[in-house]
Homo-oligomer: A and B are copies of this chain.
Amino acid sequence: MKDHVRKYGPAAIGGRLRRLSESIDEDARRIYAEFGVSFEQRWVGVLYELVQDGPLSVGELAARLGITHVSVSQTRQSLERAGIITAEVDSSDARRRQLKLTVSGAKLVRQLKPLWQALDRAAVELNNEAQDVISALDRLDDALARRSQFDRIRDQLKQT
């Protein structure tokens, strides 16, 4: 089945990246469910950063995680509903929200520590077995940072 997709070569790179991420996300989801925890994958990065250096603003988290502020904003809303964090207006800048762990949030994080360690180790094992996919992703990131796919495609169109 998967072998059929390989015939497309680089043309299918976007789809293949997505499907791999779906697969890895789904497996993580199953593990949380088996651990008896209601948890959203997108919470991990936010929680990790808040544990390390909280409180942090929406924008700071977005920068640290390499995602848009909108994603962080949406994630913080679900985290608040779950009682894991609070998001209070910054006292020195009313535009800004300071996100920090609640007591029960910190408790959840402690509870999840062994699971996160297992997730980390499994990821390292997978990366090693696949002969350093992460470095390949770094290279892809760098190539896209140098020149967007939009510009590349447009230039190829001009040469047609």
Contact = CB atoms under 8 A, between A and B. Distances in A.
Contact of A21 (B17, B121, B143): B17
Interface in A127-160: 127, 129-146, 148-150, 152-157, 160
Given A2-B66, A4-B65, A21-B18, A122 B134 contact: no
Interface residues of A, number: 76
Contact of A10 (B16, B63, B126, B140): B126
Interface string A49-67: 0000000000000011111
B133 A140 contact: yes
A133 B13 contact: yes
4 smallest CB-CB distances across A and B, nearest first, come from: A136-B136, A17-B21, A118-B156, A10-B123
A65 B6 CA distance: 9
Interface string A5-17: 1101111111111
Nearest to A25: B14
B152 A122 contact: yes
Nearest to A42: B15
A9 B127 CA distance: 9
Given A13-B127, A17-B137, A126-B152, 15 more contacts: A2-B66, A8-B45, A13-B134, A14-B21, A15-B45, A17-B20, A17-B21, A19-B66, A21-B21, A27-B150, A118-B154, A126-B140, A130-B139, A131-B139, A133-B139
